[in-house]
Amino acid sequence: MNFSEDILQNIEDYLNGKMNANEIKTFENQINDNQEFYEAVKINKKLKLQYDETNWDFIEDNKSNTKLNELEALLKSNEFQDKKKAIQTASASYFKNEEVKKLNNNKPKLYYLLAFAAAVIVFLGVFFNDSTSTNQEIYSDNSKWEELPSLVSRSEINVDLLSAGENAFNNKNYVLAKENFTSFINDDYQVNPTALLYLGISQLELENYNEALNSFQKIAESNTLDQSKGYWYRALTYFKMDDRANAIKELEIIVKSSKNHNFEKAKKLLKKLN
């Protein structure tokens, strides 16, 4: 629906408290009778509340939220206000052009709000990017099991158990995968970190967290080249458990040596989390 200049002005006056009681009543009756009109007012109200430097309604109700308090400080900062003024100046200059006014017909105020909102979203994206990652998002981003090394070509005894376990794992049948890898590890006379890795991930996917941590700890304690993988997968397990504190402890072990598995990833994660 295309709104006339008068309607757009009425929306602005309504949101800025420039209407008297009778005008407010008439305006609100119009809103209630027209769904598109109502949605337009609601959107513009939200934009005004969230991006005006004097009104912080969406924060006032959540004062106990640390992240929102940080956001409030950002929105009130000189940096943000300078960017807002720059956007407003550029917008005012843009709409002074008569040809642009004609092209946009009767919608300059609406376009300004949407343009400003888009700019604010980009600006705030820097604030929220990565730093708000949840434990589950971190786990999801780093649990790419298709990148695991294959076991099928290995020449150990009981290779049938490995093959069956890997096939079950690739088909996401983690119960069967766990059974096969457990049988293989119990029969094997030496530590097999790759089999332990598959077993631990199967346990992790089944939410057998203590079993998974134990399997990954065996890798960490092994005297093998894959030893440091144990810390990385223990960290992932803790993230899935929503235990960020212990996940960070595992990452801190990894960054002690650049030779450790996923050293760079661990370093970047710690930088975001600390």
The pLDDT tens digits for 18-32 are 888 888 888 888 888
Look at the chain and report how many structural domains it folds into. 2
**Which residues are CB-contacts of 79 (< 8 A; sequence separation ≥ 6)?**
none
Q: Quick one: pLDDT at residue 71?
A: 56
**Which residues are CB-contacts of 266 (< 8 A; sequence separation ≥ 6)?**
232, 235, 251, 254, 255, 260
Q: Quick one: pLDDT at residue 171?
A: 93
Q: Quick one: pLDDT at residue 79?
A: 62
Q: Check pLDDT > 80 for residue 97.
A: no
Residue that is last in its domain, among 129, 148, 168: 129
Burial 128-165 (b: 16+ CB within 10 A, else e): eeeeebebeebbeeeeeeeeeeebeeeebebeebbbbb
86 plus 36 within the same structural domain: yes
Q: Quick one: pLDDT at residue 218?
A: 95
Q: Check pLDDT > 80 for residue 165.
A: yes
Instruction: Give this prediction's pTM.
Output: 0.53
Rounded average pLDDT over 172-187: 92
The CA dihedral of 197, 265, 144, 137, to the nearest 10 degrees, is 110
124 plus 140 within the same structural domain: no
Query: Which range has the top average pLDDT, 86-90, 113-117, 184-188, 270-274?
Result: 270-274
Give the domain extent around 196: 136-273
238 plus 173 within the same structural domain: yes
215 plus 89 within the same structural domain: no
Residue that is last in its domain, among 106, 129, 152: 129
90 plus 207 within the same structural domain: no
194 plus 66 within the same structural domain: no
